[in-house]
Amino acid sequence: MQHQQIKLQNNLETLFINSPGSTAASIQIWFRAGSALETGKDKGIAHFLEHMFFKGTPTRPGAAIAHEVESLGGEMNAFTSFDYTCYYINSPNEHLPKM
């Protein structure tokens, strides 16, 4: 397995992992946001935002995004933990450029 860590100009840290011979691809976005980092009025906001993410946008409804991913054999989901939230898309690796 090969990996490369790159910090973009906007300070976003990226990690690319290449596993030769794998037939699957995964795109993941991790945020330092979870219940352990929330206080007072913020309690539950990371989990709430996780659900809002899948509502889509005015120009791309959530159902349209899900249909596009699923039509290529992919799946998208998310989870919130104590100190992080992860959004991901898994797909056959031949469709990675379309994800």
Q: Hey, what domains does the chain have and what are their CATH numbers?
A: 2-98 (3.30.830.10)
What pLDDT was estimated at residue 18? Answer: 86
Give the chain's mean pLDDT.
Answer: 92
Is the pLDDT assigned to residue 81 strictly greater than 90? yes
Is the pLDDT assigned to residue 99 strictly greater than 90? no
Q: How many CB atoms lie within 10 A of CB 33?
A: 20
Radius of gyration of the chain (CA): 16
Catalytic residues, by residue number, are 50
CA distances for 97 relative to 38, 83, 94, angstroms? 36, 30, 8
Is the pLDDT assigned to residue 62 strictly greater than 90? no
**Helix (H) or strand (E) segment spanning residue 53:** helix 45-53
Tens-place pLDDT, residues 23-42: 999 999 999 999 999 999 99
**Closest by Cα among 86, 77, 58, 73 to 24:** 73
